[in-house]
Structure 1
Amino acid sequence: MMAIKLKSLREQVIVVTGATSGNGLAIVEAAIRQGAAVVAVARNAEALEELHARLAGVGGRIAICAADVSDPAAVEDVATVASEKFGGFDSWVNNAGIGTYGTLEQVPLADHRRVFDVNYFGVLHGSLVAARHLRGRGGGAIINVGSILGDRSIVQQGPYSATKHAVQALTDTLRMELEREKAGISVTLIKPGPIDTPFPEHARNFMDEPPRLPPPLYTPEVVADAVLFACANPRRTLYAGGGGLLSSMLAQAAPRLTDAIMELAGTQAQQKPGDPGVAARRDNLYEPREDALRGSQDVHARQSSIALQLQKAASPLLTAAIVGGGALAAILLRKGTR
């Protein structure tokens, strides 16, 4: 396997999808602070203009591109904007995502497809465009923002969980193909746990109560930290938030116990009676709604993750060994408890 060399952040141009809200917005702001140039991509053209004015006003190097990542032609346009404004890009972050709350039967088939169009096909479109461009530059990084729900599904979020399982498979396949051709492109999957973003307000809701993310929550800056580290340091997987990592390992070790816990308390843990959040943010499944960095519900979010810092400090091989060793231990424990 060839060694992959990535530029420092201050030398990079970074494409970020889903750039006007939550994790994407945190990634853009942190990248600009650290000296990178950014191509910010989102459906919300008004929010993009405001973001550009704010960050360019303080000297940030930023270009914007209004695009729905479910449209492959629109994603091609992103690469064109990056080439015209900055001469290309060095890292591409597939972050855009949407979701629903409700049972598989409650969510209409068209909404299932819409979640896949954005969360899976959007990542596919971005990955293919990025890989083609980065080959011509001699390498770079592709970072896909998945979820711990790619390891373990959760009730009331079946379509979203399914897309994150698909993104896991897509990312692994892309990495193998690029490694086989010695393309010099790093492919990283970021797996956030629950993050305090507007996601519960943006998601289309079929439950009887307002949705929320189950604790413990982390701030979007934790995800930004993981993503930007991966832009400059080749890693296979990074978990953003120790709570999510532990939940994932528990699910691998004791899947039936996790099923039982989910069936008993999973729905209640994802509901916030009397606290629906800002009405202007509700339901962005097909059209953009009000965007923001954080959710507006009354929650507590941790500002750092010790688990992420340990992953960053470890070498790539050690990190893989730690995560892989945890998974193996979980499998052995699972067999031992049958």
Structure 2
Amino acid sequence: MSQTVVITGATGGIGRATARLYARRGADVVLIARGRDGLDTTAKEVESLGGRALARQADVADPDQVEAAAAAAEEEFGPIDVWINCAFSTVFAPFDEIRHEEYVRATEVTYLGFVNGTRAALKRMLPRDRGTIVQVGSALGERSVPLQSVYCGAKHAINGFTSSLRTELLHRGSNVHVTVVQMPAVNTPQFSWVLSRLPRHPRPVPPIYQPEAAARGVVHAADHPRRKQYYVGASTLATLWANRLAPALLDRYLARTGFDSQQDATRPPTGRANLFHPVDQDPGTDHGAHGVFDDASHARSWQALLAHHPVLTALGASLAGGAAATALRHRAR
């Protein structure tokens, strides 16, 4: 029997790559995004790979639109087995250069979008006492960086919200599961359509991973949701452990390097943004899963492969954290 999987932010980056993986399994995939052309193209991909697709144009910041999409998913395919929250939008700029309405909008999409998706999923999963919710998180949800205050704040909020919800589900003895997959820098189209006030083109901080590596982590977490968190990328673990072991040193290191490392000197600003309106709204504007940093991106994450073995993961985390903290001490001097 095929799974019914709902993915928000399904037309680009990690969401798009995850939709393809589920399609190859023959799953029924419900695609939620704002852009019509991206939705249509992604739906065709899903069906060409062996799945069934339902494309729903919706803004995750609007709880009524999310609820309508969830109702349509169950009407079309039956009970939702997995709900994956992946949609987000953000602003690359120093905090004092981000306007109030931009901060509100990015927070509504990136944080409240996850809340709205989780609520719609739980409304259906709790009465049946089954189902899995996967939150696509980020290392920046535990260790903030400059120029991304709105995104870091939203990802921190998602972690806190999800931890609170998890304890409530445990209190109930519920068989509904919720887990978070913390991501590294990923080569997604967001860097070419994000609202940016930087003098140069935004870029992910290396090491950079391809969306397919991240998507494999999402699907693994959905298949094995009992763990609180999963991590993709050795850099994710190294960042988190360095933050725990030497947070003040990491502050100084990021203050010195975080501005230049998030800008590409070879590319000018894009001059467009998807914060208030999708950039794949019109025919011929689908952007696919990958961004413009293919040449610098890793196709696989050895750390994510170790996630199948918790003992090895813990050992790798300790080694990565210790190495990162030592490197920081030298660089911060």
Scaled by the length of structure 1, the TM-score of the pair is 0.88
Q: How many corresponding residue pairs?
A: 319
The residue aligned with 1:66 is 57
Contact 1:79/1:129, CA 8 A, preserved across alignment: yes
Which one of 309, 312, 315 corresponds to residue 313 of structure 1? 309
The residue aligned with 1:137 is 128
Which one of 234, 258, 261 corresponds to residue 266 of structure 1? 258
3-state SS of paired residue (1:105): helix
The residue aligned with 1:36 is 27
The residue aligned with 1:289 is 279
Deviation of residue 308 (structure 1)? 0.9
Which one of 43, 52, 72 corresponds to residue 81 of structure 1? 72
Which one of 242, 246, 261 corresponds to residue 238 of structure 2? 246
Q: Distance in 1 between matches of 2:197 and 2:182?
A: 26
- CA shift in 2, pair 1:306/1:39, >3 Å: same
Contact 2:4/2:82, CA 8 A, preserved across alignment: yes
Q: Could you report, residue by residue, the CA deviation over 1:203-226 in whole angstroms, capped at 9, with x for unpaired residues?
A: 110111111111000111111111
- CA shift in 2, pair 1:324/1:245, >3 Å: closer
3-state SS of paired residue (1:161): helix
Contact 1:146/1:192, CA 8 A, preserved across alignment: yes
Q: Could you report, residue by residue, the CA deviation over 1:117-146 in whole angstroms, capped at 9, with x for unpaired residues?
A: 001100001111111211122211000011
Deviation of residue 325 (structure 1)? 7.1
- CA shift in 2, pair 1:154/1:189, >3 Å: same
- CA shift in 2, pair 1:208/1:152, >3 Å: same
Q: Distance in 2 between matches of 1:128 and 1:327?
A: 36
**Aligned residue type for 1:286:** F
3-state SS of paired residue (1:11): coil
Q: Does 1:300 align with 2:296?
A: yes
Contact 2:30/2:54, CA 8 A, preserved across alignment: yes
Which one of 89, 92, 102 corresponds to residue 98 of structure 1? 89
Contact 2:234/2:320, CA 8 A, preserved across alignment: no
Sequence identity (%): 31
Deviation of residue 298 (structure 1)? 6.0
- CA shift in 2, pair 1:103/1:196, >3 Å: same
3-state SS of paired residue (1:312): coil
Contact 1:14/1:90, CA 8 A, preserved across alignment: yes
- CA shift in 2, pair 1:250/1:58, >3 Å: closer
3-state SS of paired residue (1:296): coil
Deviation of residue 328 (structure 1)? 11
Q: Distance in 2 between matches of 1:114 and 1:74?
A: 16
3-state SS of paired residue (2:230): strand
Q: Distance in 1 between matches of 2:234 and 2:171?
A: 32
**Aligned residue type for 1:110:** E
Scaled by the length of structure 2, the TM-score of the pair is 0.89
Deviation of residue 276 (structure 1)? 4.3
Q: Does 1:185 align with 2:176?
A: yes
Contact 1:252/1:327, CA 8 A, preserved across alignment: no
Contact 1:99/1:285, CA 8 A, preserved across alignment: yes
Q: Does 1:213 align with 2:209?
A: no
Contact 1:23/1:293, CA 8 A, preserved across alignment: yes
Deviation of residue 92 (structure 1)? 0.4
Q: Which runs of 5+ in 2 are unaligned?
A: 281-286, 327-333
Computed over aligned residues only, the root mean square deviation of the Cα atoms, in angstroms, reads 2.5
Once the two structures are superposed, the pairs formed by residues 216-227 of structure 1 within 5 Å of their partners are: 216-227=207-218
Deviation of residue 327 (structure 1)? 11
Q: Distance in 1 between matches of 2:294 and 2:53?
A: 32
Deviation of residue 292 (structure 1)? 2.1
Q: Distance in 1 between matches of 2:312 and 2:3?
A: 25
Q: Distance in 1 between matches of 2:301 and 2:314?
A: 19
**Aligned residue type for 2:274:** N
**Aligned residue type for 1:223:** A
Contact 2:185/2:205, CA 8 A, preserved across alignment: yes
Q: Which runs of 5+ in 1 are unaligned?
A: 1-9, 334-338
